[in-house]
């Protein structure tokens, strides 16, 4: 299915975006909160169905993840306005982003709109590159092979898993493998800590991390309105690779939480929720001006 403008996930057309000026926002705040509560169950249900339909095998990874957000709303999810400029000639305000921030945010959002297409040569090459980065001494027998399960895909054809989050989730994994290879292999081979009998599948967990970041940063909106998203755009202005680096940090944080909670397969959604909460807190710190300022950044070099 071809993705439309400002949609990050195929078929999730029910996501709505509100963009009002400050006066209207203050007058309608109570009504908007009531409307959000009324519609949240429907929106989340469609998102869960959309993403879970793209996955094969057990659906508990995604459905449990979204059901959690139907019952609670993080304190850091409060929607905020960007700083406002003086009144324009038409009597309205406009939200301020630097030209560089706008350009980089737009390029990132454009990436989110690209579905994984197993017929495209560049997507096939990216998938092969991921295999060679993960297992440099093992020859890949084909793009459809039982070998892919060794990386944590749910079946012999990884393209069926990518449909849940698009090509960006493959780009995230490949960036992780190339930029922080030691960290990537440590998580891939579960080298640290006292591991569970039923471990999380590495590759599918990576797709879930990508999707979690997209939602947490409000990247489906024209401009993020949640505090973590607003602060992330500032980091993006300092480093265009901020989203990919944040992905690597989030993956490391998720694995650290997994070990700390002594979690097993069925508890993955709870681990991902705790990871999100911790990441939101770090993105809200006043002294974070670069992606490298996040306290969890050091996990990539442990």
Q: Tell me, what's the pLDDT at 52?
A: 40
Q: List, in sequence order, every residue forming a beta bridge with 142; answer none if it has no partner.
A: none
Burial class (CB within 10 angstroms; exposed 0-12, middle 13-18, buried 19+) of 241: middle
What pLDDT, in 10s, does the model give residues 115-142?
Answer: 999 999 999 999 999 999 999 999 999 9
Q: Tell me, what's the pLDDT at 197?
A: 85
Q: Tell me, what's the pLDDT at 48?
A: 38
**CB environment 83-98: b (16+ within 10 A), e (fewer):** eeeeeeeeeebebebe
CA gap 128, 159 in Å, rounded: 12
Q: Tell me, what's the pLDDT at 171?
A: 98
What pLDDT, in 10s, does the model give residues 191-233?
Answer: 988 888 889 999 999 999 999 999 999 999 999 999 999 999 9
Q: Judge whether 141 and 147 are in contact, CB under 8 Å.
A: yes
Record the pTM. Answer: 0.71
Long-range contacts of 13-19 (CB under 8 A, 24+ apart): 14/42, 14/43, 14/46, 15/43, 15/47, 15/220, 16/43, 17/220, 17/221, 17/222, 19/221, 19/222, 19/223
CA distances from 221 to 6, 87, 179, 218, 226 (A): 7, 23, 29, 6, 10
Q: Tell me, what's the pLDDT at 71?
A: 40
CA gap 139, 295 in Å, rounded: 38
Task: State which residues of the chain have pLDDT below 50.
Answer: 1-26, 28-29, 32-94
Q: Tell me, what's the pLDDT at 96?
A: 64
Q: Tell me, what's the pLDDT at 196?
A: 81
Q: Tell me, what's the pLDDT at 77?
A: 42
Q: Judge whether 229 and 161 are in contact, CB under 8 Å.
A: no
CA gap 94, 96 in Å, rounded: 6
Longest CA–CA span in the chain (Å) reads 64
């Amino acid at each position: 299915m071809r993705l439309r403008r400002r949609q990050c996930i195929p078929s999730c057309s029910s996501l709505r975006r509100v963009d009002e000026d400050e006066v209207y926002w203050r007058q309608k705040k109570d009504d908007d909160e009531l409307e959000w509560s009324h519609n949240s169950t429907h929106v989340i249900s469609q998102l869960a169905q959309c993403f879970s339909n793209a996955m094969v095998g057990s659906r508990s990874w995604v459905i449990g993840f979204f059901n959690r957000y139907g019952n609670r709303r993080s304190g850091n999810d409060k929607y905020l306005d960007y700083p406002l400029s003086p009144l324009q000639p038409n009597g309205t305000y406009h939200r301020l982003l630097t030209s560089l921030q706008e350009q980089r945010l737009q390029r990132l959002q454009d990436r989110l709109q690209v579905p994984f297409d197993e017929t495209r040569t560049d997507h096939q090459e990216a998938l092969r590159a991921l295999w060679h980065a993960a297992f440099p001494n093992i020859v890949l027998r084909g793009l459809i092979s039982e070998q892919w399960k060794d990386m944590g895909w749910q079946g012999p054809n990884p393209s069926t898993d990518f449909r849940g989050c698009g090509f960006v989730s493959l780009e995230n994994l490949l960036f992780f493998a190339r930029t922080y290879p030691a960290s990537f292999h440590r998580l891939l081979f579960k080298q640290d800590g006292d591991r569970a009998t039923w471990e999380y599948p590495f590759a599918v967990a990576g797709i879930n991390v990508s999707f979690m970041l997209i939602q947490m940063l409000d990247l489906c909106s024209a401009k993020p309105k949640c505090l973590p998203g607003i602060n992330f755009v500032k980091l993006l202005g300092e480093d265009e690779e901020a989203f990919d680096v944040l992905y690597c940090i989030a993956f490391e944080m998720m694995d650290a939480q997994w070990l700390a909670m002594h979690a097993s397969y069925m508890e993955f959604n709870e681990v991902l929720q705790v990871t999100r909460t911790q990441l939101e807190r770090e993105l809200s710190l006043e002294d974070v001006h670069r992606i490298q300022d996040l306290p969890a950044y050091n996990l990539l070099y442990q």
